[in-house]
Chains A and B, each alone.
Chain A
Amino acid sequence: MPTIPTDLFNSEEAFHQLVRLAPIGICVTDRARRFVLVNPAYCRVYGYGEEELLGREFTLVLPEEDRALAAQLHDDFLEGRTDETPGEWRLRRKDGTLRTILVDAARLVSPSGARFKLTTVQDITEQKKLQSERLAREREGLIASVAAIAGHDLNNTLSTVQLSIDFIEHGLNNRPDLAVLQAAVSDIKQVLERARALTGRLQAIALPTEHRRVEVDPISECRRSLIGFADRVVFENGMDRPHTILVDPWRFADAVVNLLTNATEATEAAGRRDAIILRVRHAAPLPVSVGGRSDAAIAVEVIDRGVGIDPETIQRMFEPGFSTKQLNAAQRVRGFGMISVRLFVEEAGGTVQVHSVLGEGTRIALILPARETRAEGALVASSTVG
């Protein structure tokens, strides 16, 4: 192995030291799944002594329910049937505590041709905790913003209803001008319709997301979101193989409508009449995360020829920990949409990509983990319209 001149690697012992002192957990297992090497860092991660592990099957360090799957993955990897490694994984240490670890692997072949699996593990429990705390804080900010919007919009609704009813009452007691009374009634109906949509949105935010996730067909969910944008948005289906995404359908629809609304306003602000494009296409798979076993990803894109977004605003929209308290009142009430979109995508295990040129247009892509639909799986579009 090429090295620069130094006496560090003069002896074979030096490479043993490398493995022994590495701050990352390292183990080597054979085709019978037995530990043939474990370094001290590995032992620390799992909470076992070296003598408890060597020669034993590696699955002993895993909870009962994970063993079969882990064994399968191990054998598949070793035999070259897959290059996939578990990525994030949950483990139970010997003392019973739960940790989250990041796992990676490589194949080794000895001089005699025997195959071995080299595995590295890192304890990322603290990082995951910080991340979920950040998400919780942002969720709080989001709820505060939703409350502000709800207050604002419901107040306007109540005002319209109150004034219209007072007006109708006055008309009934005096000289009724029927045409004007009709107009008042029509206004009441219009704002009640809007209020109904708002309560739907509130409910979507109020319930814990995990309980509301279902496998949905992104194509039909997107088509549903087009209602109301019919003449301004063109839908492009770029999928040649059907996939499903695991999301809360209300929040998915909300995110798409948010993007379409922003795109519409941006296009109008630019004084253009170009159609907005809503496209669903395949995307490069995302890094695997805990619990998720997606093999694919899709992109839901909204492309407009509007005024564009300046780089500073884009950065602020996606700053980790960007608090909605930093927005002024008008921004909180009107501009929280992107934060809501980002939170939704993050909680679904995806990412948001924004590309914008001031004066020319914007492309926003929601990359979401997806599963290829198996032929035998029945695909039922969710009913988001209640």
Chain B
Amino acid sequence: MEILIVDDDESLLRSLKRAVRLLGHSVRAAPSGQEACAQAAERCPDLAMVDLIMPGIDGIETIARLHRLCPSCRFVILTGTPQEAAGRTLVEVRQKPIGLADLRELLGASHADRPAAGGDDVVPPSP
């Protein structure tokens, strides 16, 4: 699976890249929403993990733009402040801190539950 990670925290970005690679996926990283869109324009990821609070465009705006570029991409918001996402998006929200086991479960689920492409909802609401 091709993963794109978007987070303005450089140390965390590196750690996430390492972990995702360890789980057997190919991964690209972007430190901002703008950079993420540039990378997605070159090649669409299968899954994008996006931080919510970033300078420049925030996570929700980033996902909206990425979805336009890559309609069949699955999105997950990875954030330390899930309450900021409440009511603003139907995208799945996962709370930091996240460990290797959580990541494995998150990425493993992707293989089984890939939704059909199309429609404005990026992914069904998380349970």
Contact = CB atoms under 8 A, between A and B. Distances in A.
A191 B54 CA distance: 18
B12 interface: yes
A191 B58 CA distance: 22
B19 A167 contact: yes
Interface residues of B, number: 25
A158 B22 contact: no
B25 interface: no
B98 A163 contact: yes
A159 to B, nearest CB: 4
A156 B84 CA distance: 16
A187 B14 CA distance: 8
Interface in A159-192: 159-164, 166-167, 170, 180, 183-184, 187, 190-191
A152 B97 CA distance: 10
A155 interface: yes
Contacts of B99: 162-163, 166
B100 A163 contact: yes
B67 to A, nearest CB: 20
Nearest to B54: A330
Contacts of A155: 80-81, 96-97
Interface residues of A, number: 26
Contacts of A180: 18
27 contacts: A148-B81, A151-B81, A152-B53, A152-B80, A152-B81, A156-B12, A158-B96, A159-B15, A159-B80, A162-B97, A162-B99, A163-B12, A163-B15, A163-B103, A166-B99, A166-B100, A166-B101, A167-B18, A167-B22, A183-B14, A187-B11, A187-B14, A190-B11, A329-B52, A329-B58, A330-B53, A334-B55
Interface in B87-103: 96-101, 103
A348 B58 CA distance: 35
B8 to A, nearest CB: 9
A41 interface: no
